[in-house]
Amino acid sequence: MKKFLWSLFEMFETLVIAIVAVLLVRSFVTQPFLVSGSSMEPTFNDGNYLLVDELSYDFRVPERGEVIVFKYPSDPSSYFIKRIVGLPGETVVIRDGKVSVRNTGGTEVLNEPYVLQSDTTSNVERTLGNGEYFVMGDNRNFSFDSRSWGPVPAKNIVGVVRFRLWPLQSAMAFSTPHY
């Protein structure tokens, strides 16, 4: 009987340790995110299940081209997924479907092969302040983003998308595109 009780205790102890480990990782390292809508097509589709790295931005700043999950500035209870286009201190210019970024190094027209459709109707020029990021969806004609409601404050950024887990045939890791 002692062996049975000891085995039962060991199983319970293992289960508790596993649950605590999962809760710690989920709370401080990664967070699951379910894509809702078509604003990030073709990169992410409605129903994709992603893992968001919440830890990286504690050690470095976000980079242009990274896909992030953030709290919507007008309603922090809502979470959005978009791609970073403009960084703090830069001026983002959108004309005729082309996105340009102006900073101390000059002006650069972004090469965005991941964009599904260019929005040729939006003409935007926005200079970003400290801690502000300009974000856009990859499906520009169907994306509610910084063109509509302005930049995302750094404090609203939850993390960077690292993995797509679902659907299984599309599972993969993501890296930052280089411009």
Q: For the chain, what are the domain ranges?
A: 31-173
Confidence tier at 119 by pLDDT (50, 70, 90): low
Does 39 participate in catalysis according to the annotation?
Answer: yes
Domain 31-173, CATH homologous superfamily name and number: Umud Fragment, subunit A (2.10.109.10)
Q: Which of 2, 7, 36, 39 is catalytic?
A: 39
81 class by beta-carbon count within 10 Å (0-12 exposed, 13-18 middle, 19+ buried): buried
Percent of the chain with pLDDT over 90: 16
Identify the residue with better confidence: 88 or 78. 88
Identify the residue with better confidence: 122 or 75. 75
Asked whether the whole model's pTM tops 0.85, one would answer: no
- pLDDT computed for residue 57 by the predictor: 85
Q: Which of 7, 56, 74, 82 is catalytic?
A: 82
Helices (H), the chain: 2-28, 146-149
Does 155 participate in catalysis according to the annotation?
Answer: no
Residue 160's DSSP bridge partners are: 53, 68
Please tell me the least confidently modeled range out of 11-25, 76-90, 137-151. 11-25
